[in-house]
Chains A and B, each alone.
Chain A
Amino acid sequence: MSLINITLILYIMTSVAYIAREVWRSSVAKWISLGLFILGFCFNVSWLVTRSIEAGHPPFSNLYESLVFYACCTALVYIIFEFIYNFRIVGALASVLAMLILLYATLQDPTIRPIMPALKSNWMLAHVITYMLGYGAFGISFVTSGIFLAIKPFAKNKKRNEGEKGNEISLINFDKLSYKLVAFGFPFLTLGMVTGAVWAKKAWGDYWSWDPKETWSLITWLAYLAYLHTPLILPKMNISKSKTSVILAFWLLISFGIVNFTFVGLNYLPSAADSEHIYGSK
């Protein structure tokens, strides 16, 4: 069985383990579920390692490889956060998210092709790694925002901060968790955009040329920038805290949609034909 398939199965098992952990709360269940996720992550990484040895270049040269790396980063960000906060049910959906990304990767052309000259750059390495870590964090924030919106109508009477022990965050405070995830991911997104600009300058002579890929990466950045600034204005517009949190959670769902469109959806744009940077267009 290929490493990808093993990773896929481990991610599914992780999801099941996290749901079981919700029912049967114990430190054993906790370590089993987390352990499975880490194991899946390790297999994901080992695929990337064997692939780069086989291909002779870092494993982000085409859409297939980048998607596997994206899944890997999503898992990594989740695991980091699990060590900081007690996450509970998020793991069940985060592993599903990683699995879906992997599954989407398997639909792509897996052929190893020689990389084009412009991709041979260290800036490109920094660009992809930082971007994918950012995307991973936004993926998890998508999950937490979704859970928050799902739980919100049923938790009206519950007080905030109720029942929080130590690092455990109750579901009703997931809006704060989402913010922390975005706060974790946004610097990576910024670094990714800046390193991308420097790489573009080195390879194509211009750090910014309003290429559709560049423009959409700016849209993504602006979307999360808006998310970070709205909490400052909504209270002044006589919008209640509870409504603010719902609006922000929705905004994060949309923003993650924008992230994925920027990553894989640009081929559907009429301007895609002119682009230098869209996967598969050249």
Chain B
Amino acid sequence: MKNGKQNQPRATTEVKDTTTLTIQSHTNRNKQKETNRVWDFFCSVKLAVVIILIMVVACILGTVILQEKTLDEYTAKYGYGLATFFRITQLTNIFHSYWFSFLLVLLCANLICCTIKRWRNTFLQTGFILTHLSLVLILIGGVIKFQLGVKGGVNVYEGKSVNYFLTQLINRQGKLDYIKKDLPFSIALDDFILEKNEPKFHLVSYVKSKDRQKILDVKTGKRQRVPGSDYRVTVKDYVPDAELQQEPINTSNEPENPAIYLKLLGSERVAAEGWLLAHDRNYYDDKRQSLRIEYVWLPSREELDDAIGSVEKEHAKLSVAIAGQGLLQDYPLEFNKVFKIQGTEYSLRMLQYVLNYGDRRPLSEQPPDNPAVQVEVNGPEGSETRWVFEKFPDWDKMHPGKYTNVKLTCSGIAGSYMAKNTVRIFQTLDGMQVIAFIRDKRVAETMPWEVGKKYTMGDISGQIMIASYFPSFDFKKEVVKKSDDVGTPAIFVEVDGPRGKIEDWLFSNNQYATWYPDNNFALVYESTGESVKHFTSKLRIEENGQTVAEKTIRVNDPLKYKGYVIYQSSYDPEAGAFSGLQIVKDPGIPVVYSGFGALCFGVIFIFYVKPFLRKKSKKEAEE
């Protein structure tokens, strides 16, 4: 339909041209022909389509090649040769390049010529004229923006003001540059408000074998099948603001996990108190008076006697075995002394020892987790230094050094370090309870102990009291409701699957998933809140010390003053201390917006109003 309409006027122009041509003289004819050709070229739809297609290609290139980056970034991504080529051909900033601008100028000329040529001054042409000229307006507006407009940003701290902003550009050297632009006024940030969304909580299920996540309903009491699987989930309880409290309890009278509650009493108040677990953390260190209190569980009375009797004999030793000679010798832990191994060419020198290998703290603070001795071995091929680990006797076999035939092991290192004052609280399966005070590695005092009694040991300041004894210590996990408001919600969930039913509490502040025993199904109760709802800045514009404008700006609602528009663009993500403002000045806006209006009206006219009008006139003509 557009086809037929716009071909007609062209035919009439050609007729007119030929009639004028016959009147012209011969010499003028060539000139006329030449100008006509140029004119026709600028008027042609062909040129328009060619420009459109070139623009399409340019636009595609402009999104495939990264735009407006620094020279370093281009070189890193494309290599030096290609980066240089892109820079020379302005492919690094296509949309502001000379050739793209030329294309737009050509398009403008094309649009104007074409409009003039086809101008018929009829109502039906309204759409055609509006659309074509609107594009010219938009392009002119774009040029105004490019020449006279500025766009930049500045961060303002609460209570402070600024009278400048920074624009960003890639300079001729291909480096990122900031240019400071002064404002003819100053912007004061009186208040910055960051409003967050109410957090929302989702129960998300994950089936590993299908790699599928699903959000489940958290309605309590509803048994639901996880889609696409055989797991069934029932939310049994919901607490809007929950806290997990762990209460120590005793689960049986059999000593499965013996623990004592120890109190170190000062002159007026309790200086320290806590649980000591025989099979877990079994000691307490009081660094101020070089005191260690240990809780030692032993199977029988005999072993208790041994343990007390051997305190003074507890000696660390280093054992040496030479392969092929069957030689086994023990040496006491003495440092920087050379031990000659009799009957061999080897000698040893112990350099240092640690209680927990790799621990950088001083010896007195190291737990006896991985004791080791550093030993220098001297032999026919020179010296070799190696670490000997008490708990890993085969370490040297796995990490062979120079003398693979020299096998070193050590023992008793953990026990060799002892605080100046040590209190050992012994307990045996057959009911013996003995407390021993060891001073400078010598047992100074032993006595039986009872729950609830206070003991004064040597010159230790304060008294020791074993407040309670749990043969089978455990924690009872209890979820308590802190308030009725939504704080840290938790749900109690039952999962039914191939391995039966399990139940557990899921806390919204626990980011880790809770797995079903088959390790194929997991649940996580996650919060999707904390996202920003609004951020607003209360701005005041000051000129010569006087407030001339005031507004609380937010995204989508800027402040306008003297041709500048101040937008809320970002904020300090860590502390929320500053507000990120974007400052734009674009005198081309009225031109561009009138172009937008004309374009919208024009396309609606061409494709909706015009066909309607033509149909109407056709009908009238038929009648």
Q: Is the CB of A222 within 8 A of B49?
A: no
Q: Is the CB of B607 within 8 A of A117?
A: no
Chain A contact patch, size range: 35 or more
Per-position binary interface string of chain B over residues 28-63, scored 1 when its CB falls under 8 Å from any chain A CB and 0 otherwise: 000000000000000011101100110110011011
A203 to B555 alpha-carbon distance, docked (Å): 6
Knowing A210-B95, A226-B53 are in contact, say whether A232-B7 is a contact too (CB < 8 A): yes
User: How distant is B202 from chain A, measured CB to nearest CB, in Å?
Assistant: 7
Q: Is the CB of B95 within 8 A of A187?
A: no
User: How distant is B419 from chain A, measured CB to nearest CB, in Å?
Assistant: 56
By a CB distance below 8 angstroms, the chain A residues around B67 are 210, 271
Interface residues of B in 537-595 (CB under 8 A from A): 554-558, 565, 567, 569, 582, 584, 586, 589, 592-593
B449 proximal to A (CB < 8 A): no
Question: Which residue of chain A has its CB nearest to the CB of B581?
Answer: A205
From B59, B197, B557, give the contact of A215 (CB < 8 A). B59
**Dominant secondary structure of chain A at its interface with chain B:** helix
From B1, B48, B555, B600, give the contact of A117 (CB < 8 A). B555
Q: Is the CB of B7 within 8 A of A222?
A: no
B342 proximal to A (CB < 8 A): no
B531 proximal to A (CB < 8 A): yes
User: How distant is A205 from chain B, measured CB to nearest CB, in Å?
Assistant: 4
Per-position binary interface string of chain B over residues 105-119, scored 1 when its CB falls under 8 Å from any chain A CB and 0 otherwise: 000000000000000
Knowing A121-B556, A205-B582, A269-B64 are in contact, say whether A116-B59 is a contact too (CB < 8 A): no
By a CB distance below 8 angstroms, the chain A residues around B292 are none
Chain B contact patch, size range: 35 or more
By a CB distance below 8 angstroms, the chain A residues around B59 are 215-216, 218-219, 222
Interface residues of A in 231-282 (CB under 8 A from B): 231-233, 235-237, 266, 269-271, 274
A274 to B67 alpha-carbon distance, docked (Å): 10
From B49, B63, B586, give the contact of A226 (CB < 8 A). B49
By a CB distance below 8 angstroms, the chain B residues around A31 are none
B87 proximal to A (CB < 8 A): no
From B45, B528, B592, B608, give the contact of A113 (CB < 8 A). B528
By a CB distance below 8 angstroms, the chain A residues around B63 are 212, 215-216, 266, 269, 271
Q: Is the CB of B556 within 8 A of A120?
A: yes
The stretch that binds B, out of A67-75, A94-102, A140-148, A189-197, is A189-197
Question: Which residue of chain A has its CB nearest to the CB of B602?
Answer: A190
From A116, A120, A218, give the contact of B531 (CB < 8 A). A116
By a CB distance below 8 angstroms, the chain A residues around B606 are 187
Q: Is the CB of B49 within 8 A of A233?
A: yes
Q: Is the CB of A190 within 8 A of B6?
A: no
By a CB distance below 8 angstroms, the chain B residues around A225 are 52
From A114, A205, A218, give the contact of B558 (CB < 8 A). A205
Knowing A210-B67, A229-B52 are in contact, say whether A194-B554 is a contact too (CB < 8 A): no
User: How distant is B273 from chain A, measured CB to nearest CB, in Å?
Assistant: 47
Knowing A114-B531, A120-B556 are in contact, say whether A219-B45 is a contact too (CB < 8 A): no
Interface residues of B in 180-230 (CB under 8 A from A): 197, 200, 202, 215
Knowing A121-B556, A198-B596, A233-B46 are in contact, say whether A190-B603 is a contact too (CB < 8 A): yes
Chain B interface residues (CB < 8 Å from chain A)? 1-3, 6-7, 44-46, 48-49, 52-53, 55-56, 59-60, 62-67, 95, 142, 151, 197, 200, 202, 215, 528-529, 531-535, 554-558, 565, 567, 569, 582, 584, 586, 589, 592-593, 596, 599-600, 603-604, 606-608, 611
Q: What are 7 A-B pairs at a CB distance below 8 A?
A: A114-B531, A121-B556, A187-B604, A187-B606, A194-B596, A198-B593, A223-B56
